Amino acid sequence: MPLVSMRQLLDEAAKGAYGVGAFNVNNMEQIQAIMEAARETKSPAIVQASRGARSYSQDRFLYHLMLAATELYPEIPTVLHLDHGNSVETCKSAIGMGFTSVMMDGSLMPDGKTPSTFEYNVKATREVVETAHSKGITVEGEIGCLGGIEDGHGAGLDGLSHLTDPEQAVEFVRETGVDALAIAIGTSHGAYKFTSKPTGETLKMDRLLEIHRRLPNTHLVMHGSSSVPKDLQDIINQYGGKLKPTWGVPIEEIQLGIKNGVRKINVDTDNRLAITGAIRKVFWEKPEEFDPRSYLKPARDAMKKVVAQRMTQFGQAGHAGDYAPISLEAMAKRYQQHLTA
Ligand SMILES: [Zn+2]
């Protein structure tokens, strides 16, 4: 099956009361890890690429690897999503390239660093929604700013300084017509999310519940939601790495989110940790090895294991065959009918 609309995946997830992990990729092994995990757990899949990933893969490599994924895993409904589009132009180029979903992150200016105004965010996001929906493509927006830095993207904020205002979130969804909404509730990009196990003071789940109460029909997105498990940190440090102690978002908090409107959960760091740990282990234990497959294969297996575990924890496992994918043309018609209804 061709790449599918993310809106359909998230609508189905809402019906089934589960969440769908969105995993970042830069290369073939990461795509293979996600697709294998999806097959093993019978999960729908969201594969996402940031601007950095598009540049790293020259865009075309990424797109053709994704076509290979749809050929080799025809039973898996698979989305290719743009993570943190920084401008209307970036989103349009992703749509032109064949992405079936885009994030317009208008919470920051096009430099990807400076917090923007509400008016700018609404205007840029609405423009992307108009273009995308006319082609059946899904749009994720963001209101409030996340902490940390992701692929050079991010204001370097502490995660708590620009939390999502629930009232603004309602207005934003109404004004833009986004399919999914990323919210800032204290999470950050990267490995160093929390300096101790998060509490209600640092991870504002109450804020999420309030947003869901006001926007019960909007698919919420949790960014920066790797759990940064200690065992993955330990493997890296055991084999010569130097990670400082750090805490991520506990799985039980994500599961609470899923009970309260969260349908997409972004995970990147956990996979990076798994890959790096596996490679370090081979280098440490077998310094005579020099065939890249000797370390890339264990790296791919380690990522697959993490992804399969998250797919199970988020509840998407077992749901790949629940529905027939709707074509992008049919999705475009739906959006059109909704507009004129
Ligand atoms: Zn993000």
**96-134 confidence digits (pLDDT tens):** 999 999 999 999 999 988 999 999 999 999 999 999 999
Q: How far is the CA of 28 from the centre of ligand 1 (A)?
A: 21
Mapped onto helix, strand or coil, the DSSP state of residue 178 is coil
**Sign of the C-alpha dihedral computed for residues 265, 268, 193 and 121 taken in this order:** negative
DSSP result, 203-272: S-HHHHHHHHHH-TTSEEEE-S-----HHHHHHHHHTT--PPP-B---HHHHHHHHTTTEEEEEE-HHHH
Q: How far is the CA of 290 from the centre of ligand 1 (A)?
A: 35
Q: What is the structure's pLDDT at 153?
A: 61
Distance, in Å, from the CA atom of 8 to the CA atom of 188, rounded to the nearest integer, reads: 27
**Sign of the C-alpha dihedral computed for residues 307, 163, 54 and 91 taken in this order:** positive
Q: How far is the CA of 260 from the centre of ligand 1 (A)?
A: 20
> Are the C-beta atoms of residues 314 and 222 closer than 8 Å to each other?
no
Q: How far is the CA of 70 from the centre of ligand 1 (A)?
A: 25
Q: What is the structure's pLDDT at 152?
A: 54
Q: How far is the CA of 339 from the centre of ligand 1 (A)?
A: 29
> Are the C-beta atoms of residues 175 and 124 closer than 8 Å to each other?
no
Query: Under 8 Å CB-to-CB from 98, ≥6 apart: which residues?
Result: 3, 63, 66, 80
Q: What is the structure's pLDDT at 37?
A: 98
Distance, in Å, from the CA atom of 293 to the CA atom of 312, rounded to the nearest integer, reads: 28
Q: How far is the CA of 110 from the centre of ligand 1 (A)?
A: 15
Residue in 1, 2, 47 with CA at minimum distance from that of residue 24:
47
Q: How far is the CA of 182 from the centre of ligand 1 (A)?
A: 8
Mapped onto helix, strand or coil, the DSSP state of residue 147 is strand
Q: How far is the CA of 147 from the centre of ligand 1 (A)?
A: 9
Distance, in Å, from the CA atom of 94 to the CA atom of 53, rounded to the nearest integer, reads: 12
Query: Under 8 Å CB-to-CB from 294, ≥6 apart: which residues?
Result: 282, 286
Catalytic residues: 83
Rounded to the nearest 5 percent, the helix, strand and coil shares of the chain are 50, 15, 40
Low-confidence ranges of the chain (pLDDT < 70): 149-156, 339-341
Q: What is the structure's pLDDT at 135?
A: 98
Query: Under 8 Å CB-to-CB from 57, ≥6 apart: which residues?
Result: 26, 27, 49, 65
Q: How far is the CA of 337 from the centre of ligand 1 (A)?
A: 31
Single pTM value for the model: 0.96
Q: How far is the CA of 83 from the centre of ligand 1 (A)?
A: 7
